[in-house]
Amino acid sequence: MPSHAVPSFGFPPVARVDARVLILGSLPGRMSLEMRQYYAQPRNVFWPLMGRLFDAGLEHPYEERLRRLKENRVALWDVCASAKRPGSLDHKIETSSVTPNDFASFFERHRGIELVCFNGATAQRLFTDLVAPGLSKRIPTLRLPSTSPAHASLDFERKLAAWEAIGEVSRG
């Protein structure tokens, strides 16, 4: 049955040319879209994790957080350039409506990417199904526990332990 959801459109990538790690979400949720900020939902633990890993936490203004990620050679983007999704839950993304971002061009401009990390299973599935088959270069990937408040099965410290892998790669 076709959905009455209107398409949501993602944000441009946050990246310096020398980025080593790319963190991919699926598509910004409603609050993020309203605020025009990655991971703006207050119960999402993405920024608290980035605070612990790169001193890019919520105590800093949004633009400063992005600057600190870039300084640490961490890039941030989403798999979907646009997609239909009623609400904000990743599993509600209508796969048939997804237009993926242009990863071929991104990886051409950011040749130092050594690891693609997925913020949860949906980002990994969408990338694997819709993006990876069209890429000429294979880059190692790692699925990390979702930072979404909808995925609270792991506590913060266990999520942090998993996410520490990006700090190791970004620092070389």
Q: Quick one: DSSP state of residue 75?
A: E
Domain count for the chain = 1
Inside any domain, residue 138:
yes
- Residues contacting 81, CB < 8 A, separation 6+: 9, 10, 99, 100, 101, 102
pLDDT at 151: 66
pLDDT tens string, the chain, 172 residues long: the values are 455 678 899 999 999 999 999 999 999 999 999 999 999 999 999 999 999 999 999 999 999 999 999 999 999 999 999 999 887 667 788 988 999 999 999 999 999 999 999 999 999 999 999 999 999 889 999 999 999 887 677 889 999 999 999 988 877 7
- 127 close to 26: Cβ distance less than 8 angstroms: no
Domain assignment of residue 148, given as a range: 7-171
44, 72, 101, 119: which is the annotated catalytic residue?
44
Inside any domain, residue 80:
yes
**44 tagged catalytic:** yes
| Nearest by Cα to 14 from 44, 41, 46 | 46
pLDDT at 149: 82
Inside any domain, residue 18:
yes
pLDDT at 1: 44
CA–CA separation, 102 and 64 (whole Å): 26
Inside any domain, residue 94:
yes
Inside any domain, residue 74:
yes
- 49 close to 160: Cβ distance less than 8 angstroms: yes
Inside any domain, residue 2:
no
Q: E strands of 12-66, at which residues?
A: 21-25
pLDDT at 108: 96
- 56 close to 47: Cβ distance less than 8 angstroms: yes
**Interior CA angle at 81 toward 49 and 93, to 5°?**
75
